[in-house]
Amino acid sequence: MTANIPGAPQKRGLSKKTIKENLIAYSFIAPNFIGFAVFTLVPLGFSLVLSLLEWDGANPMNFIGFGNFEHMFKDRQFWRALLNTFVYTAGVVPATLVSALALAILLNQKVRGRNFFRTVAFFPYVASLVAVAAVWNFIFSPSKGPVNNILHALTGLDFKALPKWGASKDWAMFTVIFFSVWKNMGYYMVIYLAGLQGVNPELYEAAELDGANGWQKFRNVTVPQLVPTTFFVLMMLIISSFKVYDIFINLFAGGDNQLTDYTRVLVYQIYNTAFRSLSYGYASAMAMVLFLIVLGITLIQFRGEKKFGE
């Protein structure tokens, strides 16, 4: 991920050559950094300032200190959105991780049509979200969808007694987690496949000589060897789960582009507060909370990378 920057200063007194090399190096970094500064750093700083203000986007700003954060503590909708985001993360992260690993191990075997199946597993990740969400909504449609029709045929239960999936407070989270795992596991499978290529085959040979069976080899060779990969996947999954928005909107929002208590996530709440309620300050305060969460996870990742990165 991180590139080695040539010409990093070693001594105090910089020679002309070093300065020149440094400038060249900076000039290479500049395009990226300028982009980062313009599109990320400045907006982030602006958002930080906004979180202390009351602002509707047009009228003069009003400094209210930590008023937005105080309001946040009492705001039931915010807590609900935060809770939903945590529930979603708690469901999606382990499920995606395990499915991606299982898929990667299966498709790492020398089986016929391996590349075909790898493509099949990767396809949901590249497929258009809007299109596949529409298909899933149809599949899980409470009375017309195949899922409930099969359940109806198998159990004989009336449609009213069957789960309403995406439309039900009890099943909506399950539906979206299931969808998200299916959609994204292919991507993490590819990362795991890359990780598996890095496992030294001699370790398996040694384990075999010691009489290890398949499970023992997996448990004592594959898993420890994949720790750095797993760590990376874990962090990426957690961060993307906290930032989730698109999947919820496409699965649940319907015509009025609105989510309810059971499906409202943090990013949606931020969007709604900023652009529908025109409370840019309060929305920025919520965005700061999200930022701190993601920042915390990223810091853990940086530490872990040092530990596992070898």
Backbone phi, psi, residue 250, to 5° = -70, -30
Q: How far apart are CA 222 and CA 204, in angstroms?
A: 9
Residues in the site for another protein, rule: CB under 8 A? 38-39, 42-43, 46, 49, 53-63, 134, 137-138, 140-144, 160, 164-169, 254-258, 260-262, 272, 275-278
Q: How far is the CB of 124 from another protein (least distance, A)?
A: 19
Residue among 124 and 142 whose Cβ is closer to another protein: 142
Shortest spacing between CB 30 and another protein, in angstroms? 16
Beta bridge partners of 278: none
- Closer residue to another protein, CB minimum distance, 53 or 265: 53
Which CB, 43 or 198, lies closer to another protein? Answer: 43
Q: Smallest distance, Å, CB 265 to another protein?
A: 14
Please answer whether residues 72 and 289 qualify as being in contact, where contact means their C-beta atoms are separated by less than 8 angstroms.
Answer: yes
C-alpha distances (whole Å) from 276 to each of 128, 264, 268 are 27, 15, 11
Nearer to another protein, 222 or 263 (CB): 263
Query: Which tokens sit at 232?
Result: 């990376």
Task: Give the residue among 291, 254, 272 at the shortest CA–CA distance from 46.
Answer: 291
User: Closer CB to another protein, residue 147 or residue 289?
Assistant: 147
**Cα–chain center distance at 261:** 21
* End-to-end CA separation in angstroms for the chain: 14
Give the integer Cα–Cα distance in Å for 127 and 133.
10
- Report the nearest approach of another protein to the CB of residue 184 (Å): 21
Of 101 and 270, the one with the shorter C-beta distance to another protein is 270
* Residue at 296: amino acid letter: G
Shortest Cβ 297–another protein spacing (Å):
28
Nearest approach in angstroms of CB 7 to another protein is: 30
Considering only CA atoms, which of 51, 81, 88 is closest in space to residue 239? 88
